[in-house]
Amino acid sequence: MIDRKIADELGIHKTAVRKRRMILGLKANGHKRLFTDEQFIELHEQGFNDNEISEKLGASSSTVRERRMKLGLKAKSRRLFTDQQLIELHKKGMIDREIGEKLGAHQNTINRHRRRLGLKANGRKRTKAVIRPARKPVSNDTPHRWYVEISRALQRRFRALVNYLARVVTA
C-alpha cells in the first residue's frame, strides 16, 4: 500500500507515514501513477489551473505542478470569470472598469481578455457639455445666440480650475 492511502486510512498526513516508514527501515511500495500525461494535457488545454486539475485527478497540487513542469507546460492562473460572462457584460455596453468591478477583476485584466476575444472597447462614459438653443435671447441684439448648459459636475470642475488658476496667477 502506498503512503498516501495509509495516511488516508489513519487520518494523518502522508509525510508522517513516510517518516515513520523510513525510521522503521521499510521501503516504499512504489508510486502508483494517478493519471496519465494525456489526461493531464487534456485538462490543461481546457484551461484548468493546477489546483483544479489536482481536484479532478485526485492528486496533490505539488504532484500536478511537478508533472506540468516536466511536460514543459505554462502555469494557468485561476480564472475569475468566463469568456461568456465578459461577452455578455460587454454587449450591455459596460466599460472595462465596470465589468471588472462586476466580475472581481482589475480593468487591465478585462481589457486584455476583451482584446483577446476581438471585442472593441465600449465608449467612455464621461460628463459632456450639452449645447441647446436658448429659450430666451441671451441679449436683444443677438436673438439667435446659443448657450451652453453644463452639468453640475462639470461646473464644479470648472470652478475648481478657475480658483486654482487664480491662486497660481496671484502667487
- Residue 92 confidence (pLDDT): 92
- Residue 90 confidence (pLDDT): 92
DSSP symbols for 111-153? HHHHHHTTPPPPPP-----EEEE-SS-SBTTBTT-EEEE--HH
- Residue 141 confidence (pLDDT): 55
In a domain, 123, yes or no: no
Residues spanned by the domain of 14: 3-71
Q: CA 33 to CA 60: how far, in whole Å?
A: 12
Q: Collect the ranges in the chain with pLDDT lower than 70.
A: 30-32, 78-79, 124-151, 171
- Verify that 137 and 100 share a domain, yes or no: no
Task: Extract the C-alpha cell encoding 34.
Answer: 494517478
- Verify that 10 and 67 share a domain, yes or no: yes
For 64, counting Cβ atoms within 10 Å of its Cβ (0-12 exposed, 13-18 middle, 19+ buried), the class is: buried
- Verify that 45 and 96 share a domain, yes or no: no
Tens digits of residue pLDDT in 124-137:
655 555 555 545 55
- Verify that 53 and 91 share a domain, yes or no: no
Q: CA 36 to CA 66: how far, in whole Å?
A: 13
- Residue 147 confidence (pLDDT): 46
Query: For the chain, what is the domain count?
Result: 3
- Verify that 103 and 143 share a domain, yes or no: no
- Verify that 112 and 135 share a domain, yes or no: no
In a domain, 27, yes or no: yes
| CATH of residue 43 | 1.10.10
Tens digits of residue pLDDT in 8-37:
899 999 889 888 888 888 877 766 677 888
- Residue 145 confidence (pLDDT): 46
- Residue 138 confidence (pLDDT): 53
- Verify that 50 and 10 share a domain, yes or no: yes
- Residue 133 confidence (pLDDT): 53
Q: CA 99 to CA 91: how far, in whole Å?
A: 11
